[in-house]
Amino acid sequence: MDQIRILGGKPLSGTIRISGAKNAALPLMAASLLTAETIRLSNLPHLADISTMTDLLAQLGVEIRMDGLAGNGGHAGRVLSLRAGAIAGTTAPYDLVRTMRASVLVLGPLLARAGRARVSLPGGCAIGNRPVDLHLWALSELGAEIELADGYIDARAPKGLRGADIVFPRVSVGATENAMMAAALAEGETVLANAAREPEIGDLADCLVEMGAEIEGIGTGVLSIRGVESLGGAEHAIVPDRIETGTYAMAAAITGGDIELKDTRCDLLDGVLDKLRETGLNITPTDTGFRASRAGDNRPLSAVDVETAPFPGFPTDLQAQMMALMSVAPGASVITETVFEDRFMHVSELARMGADITVDGASARVLGVDKLIGAEVMATDLRASVSLVLAGLAAEGETVINRVYHLDRGYERLEEKLSACGAEIERIKDGQ
């Protein structure tokens, strides 16, 4: 298995282009199952999860073409064309679903278009117990008959789906997306209340509208969807990745550097930028994004408390990175995780690098240390692994991160982007 080696302690300086959001791309790709016409997605990130979704959709009969490797040495956002002229299969098998939980996003579209879907119960990141009960409940409210057997979700809607009033008992990004896609082809009107409001959901809704869906309330917690008989093609540019943006802003903060983040948007992470300003990071908007800088600032970072919450709250997907940052901010900070159980697996790895963190239930108390020391550590999930990269960039000496396949699921060309800003970071290929 590949490793990443980092020689830390250098302030980073330079420009990083932010990729399209993985968490928008995956549901957008699944939405191609809703129409027989072509969906063209630009600004597609180059990630392992995208390849997994491509394989899954190909098995279901979607014709897929990748082109438009435009600019920046062929990396500045690819263009993917997807055409589900006919649905060739309705089963999402275990071997694909187990590597990526977001595979469950084909459930709503398959049901709505083909009246049948068999999807293996998902795996994905090892963060707590991540059920799909809300997805199944919402789809059954829309009239689907659902059974669980042999590790598979077996869903049928032989007479089609019908609109319903659905009030989610808790906010779920994936369940909102599955229900919204299914409702777009259901008969009559659906109201989704207590819906998730993440920008990636707005991005999916915008594309569905371009395909002919009738959706109101986009960007709010109440979505009204009037079902239509069929949907058409669309061309859509994927929203910038706010989690990648926040991660690299924190790389500037933790190394005392100065990084310009291009092709992104401040409004996607207002709350996060406010917190980062409180830590002492200067954020200056630019025409295409913003500059994150602590260069030449001799004041130490400030410790701030953070509690994760659904959008517009502080994203759980930036919690581990924030913890790495707080581990070198003098004073005490409390980081509380409210979205997922067991999302503190990075704590023991950060501790190997000298961080002083005590977990008490859903909160972690971080006492800033003078410096982190490089060590051999292990990535446990996607965002936990990048928190170790941040810690390694700030640490004295060498850090070696094992199991970096987690990183490849969600960070496009990470080593290249960081090296371009002066980081000493390299990938050691398996067997090298």
Of 50-58, 73-81, 167-175, 272-280, the window that binds ligand UD1 (rule: CB under 6 A) is 167-175
Nearest distance in Å: CB 317, ligand UD1: 5
Nearer to ligand UD1, 44 or 339 (CB): 339
Please give the structure tokens belonging to residue 137: 């409940």
Could you say which of 125, 207, 266, 421 is catalytic?
125
Q: Say how far apart CA 146 and CA 137 lie, in whole Å.
A: 9
Q: Is 182 in the site for ligand UD1 (CB under 6 A)?
A: no
Q: Is 95 exposed, middle or buried (0-12, 13-18, 19+ CB in 10 A)?
A: exposed
Of 39-47, 110-118, 284-292, 311-319, the window that binds ligand UD1 (rule: CB under 6 A) is 311-319
Answer whether 14's CB lies under 8 Å from 420's CB. yes
Q: Is 47 in the site for ligand UD1 (CB under 6 A)?
A: no
Work out which of 71, 74, 85, 131 binds ligand UD1, going by CB under 6 A: 131
If one counts every other C-beta atom within 10 angstroms of the C-beta of residue 192, the result is: 25
Work out which of 19, 32, 99, 172 binds ligand UD1, going by CB under 6 A: 172
Answer whether 84's CB lies under 8 Å from 155's CB. no
Which among 166, 93, 124, 55 has a CA at the least distance from the CA of 410? 124
Q: Is 342 in the site for ligand UD1 (CB under 6 A)?
A: no
Q: Is 23 in the site for ligand UD1 (CB under 6 A)?
A: yes
Q: Is 339 in the site for ligand UD1 (CB under 6 A)?
A: yes
Answer whether 175's CB lies under 8 Å from 135's CB. yes
Site string for ligand UD1, 279-298 (x = CB under 6 A): --------------------
Q: Is 386 in the site for ligand UD1 (CB under 6 A)?
A: no
Q: Say how far apart CA 154 and CA 144 lie, in whole Å.
A: 10
Q: Is 306 in the site for ligand UD1 (CB under 6 A)?
A: no
Q: Is 26 in the site for ligand UD1 (CB under 6 A)?
A: yes
Work out which of 316, 319, 333, 380 binds ligand UD1, going by CB under 6 A: 316
Nearest distance in Å: CB 194, ligand UD1: 12
Nearer to ligand UD1, 291 or 343 (CB): 343
DSSP assignment of 59-125 equals HTT-EEEEE---SGGGTS-EEEEEE-SS----EE-HHHHTT-GGGGGGHHHHHHHHSEEEEEPP--S
> HSE on the CB side for 284, CA within 13 Å?
8
Which among 17, 98, 4 has a CA at the least distance from the CA of 55? 98
Nearer to ligand UD1, 224 or 319 (CB): 319
Nearer to ligand UD1, 32 or 293 (CB): 32
Q: Say how far apart CA 113 and CA 233 lie, in whole Å.
A: 15
Q: What Å distances lie between residue 379 and 91, 214, 402, 419, 425, CA to CA?
A: 31, 42, 6, 20, 16
Of 35-43, 166-174, 252-260, 264-272, the window that binds ligand UD1 (rule: CB under 6 A) is 166-174
Answer whether 327's CB lies under 8 Å from 43's CB. no
The yes-or-no answer on residue 207 being catalytic is no
Work out which of 203, 260, 317, 415 binds ligand UD1, going by CB under 6 A: 317
How far from chain centre, in Å, is Cα 90? 25
Of 11-19, 295-303, 315-323, 368-376, the window that binds ligand UD1 (rule: CB under 6 A) is 315-323
Q: Is 90 in the site for ligand UD1 (CB under 6 A)?
A: no
Q: Specify which residues 365 forms β-bridges with.
A: 334, 358
The SS3 call for residue 393 is helix
| Site size with ligand UD1, rule: CB under 6 A | 22
Give the active site residues.
Answer: 125
Residues that bind ligand UD1 (CB under 6 A): 23, 26, 101-102, 130-135, 170, 172-175, 196, 200, 315-317, 339-340
